[in-house]
Structure 1
Amino acid sequence: MVSLDSSIAFLIYITAVSSAAAGVTEACKSIVPFLATDYEPKEDCWEDHNEAARFMNYKRFFNLLISVVSAGVIFGALGLDPAAILLGATSAYVENPWQVGTWLWGIVAVFGSPFFASLLKILEGFKQQVSTDHPPNRPRRKVTGPRDDR
């Protein structure tokens, strides 16, 4: 069953793997110059603008591909199933972590990381608010305006 704690654990796991995949991508950018180069048109003509845009799209595609593959490898190396973490299972380890489902979690982690990070902040704030034993703030005395005694 999904609980607040299991949801937070799931989001922490997903964002940690996504951050690690982003680190691997940055390391690859420092090794492969193509992945870090910003392409600009040589001259102000349509052909050069199209060529520069095509190279920028190739660069973005390969950066995302490296992130997805590295996230899939990280999920496989850890051998944990994020769905089992979310559902609060007693054990989140899988017998064969190198199946297609592992790679799909890599895609989810890379493309959903901004959403998951925002959701994690919201849930942690909610948990902190719920875990405090203080009653909600209420006024201590009534505030009234001037009376109209007619």
Structure 2
Amino acid sequence: MVNLDSSIAFLIYITAVSSAAAGVTEACKSVIPFLATDYEARNDCWEDHNHAARLNHYKRFFNLLISVVAAGVIFGVMGLDPALILTGAEKVYVEDSWEVGTWLWGIVAVFGSPFFASLLKIVEGFKQSVNNNLPPNRPRQKVTGPRE
């Protein structure tokens, strides 16, 4: 069953793997110059602009590909299934962590990382307000009573 604590654990795990994959991508950029270079047109003509744009798109594609593969490898090495973490299962380790589902979680982690990071902040804030038993924020307006 999905609860607040399992949701937070899931979001932390996904965000951590995504950050680690981004670190691997940055390390690859420092080794492979093609991945860190911004391409600009040499002359102001359509051919040069198209060539520069094509090289920039290739660069973005390979950066994302490296990040997805790194996230998939991290999920595979850890052997934890994020879906089992989310549902709060007692056993979150999987027998065969190198199956297709692991790589799909790598794609979800890389492309959904901004969303998951924002959602994590919201859920943690909600948990704090629930734990503190604070009433929900309501608009307040100062009023005065009738003067006699």
Check if 1:24 corresponds to 2:17.
no
**Cα distance change of structure 1 residues 145 and 90 upon mapping to structure 2, 3 Å threshold:** same
Deviation at 1:143, TM superposition (A): 4.5
Give the distance between the partners of 2:12 and 2:35, measured in 1 at CA. Answer: 28
Distance 2:4 2:44 in 1: 55
- Aligned residue in 2 for 1:119: 119
> After TM superposition, which residue ranges in structure 1, 4 or more long, deviate above 2 angstroms?
133-138, 142-147
Map of 2:33 onto structure 1: 33
1:99-138 map, 5 Å? 99-134=99-134
Change (3 A) 1:22 1:144: same
Look up the match of 2:61. 61
Q: Shift in Å at residue 135 of structure 1? A: 5.4
Q: SS of the residue aligned with 1:120?
A: helix
Change beyond 3 A, Cα 1:4–1:61 = same
Q: Which residue of 1 aligns with 2:15?
A: 15
The structure-2 alpha-carbon separation of the partners of 1:28 and 1:143, relative to structure 1 and needing over 3 Å to count, comes to same
Q: In the alignment, which residue of structure 1 is the partner of 2:50?
A: 50
Matches within 5 A, 1:1-12: 1-12=1-12
| Counterparts of 2:134 and 2:125, CA distance in 1 | 15
Sequence identity (%): 81
TM-score if structure 1 supplies the norm length?
0.91
CA distance in 2: counterparts of 1:135 and 1:73, whole angstroms: 44
Q: Distance in 2 between matches of 1:55 and 1:43?
A: 15
Q: Give me the CA root mean square deviation.
A: 1.9
Q: Deviations over 1:105-150 (max 9, x none)?
A: 0000000000000000000000000001455689xxx944436x9x
Aligned to 2:18, what secondary structure does the other structure show?
A: helix
- Alpha-carbon distance change, 7 to 46 in structure 1, aligned in 2, over 3 angstroms: same
Q: Which has the larger radius of gyration?
A: 1
Count of residues paired in the alignment? 145
Gaps of 5+ in 1: none
Q: Which runs of 5+ in 2 are unaligned?
A: none
Alignment match, 1:76: 76
Counterpart residue type for residue 50 of structure 1: N
| Counterpart residue type for residue 29 of structure 1 | K
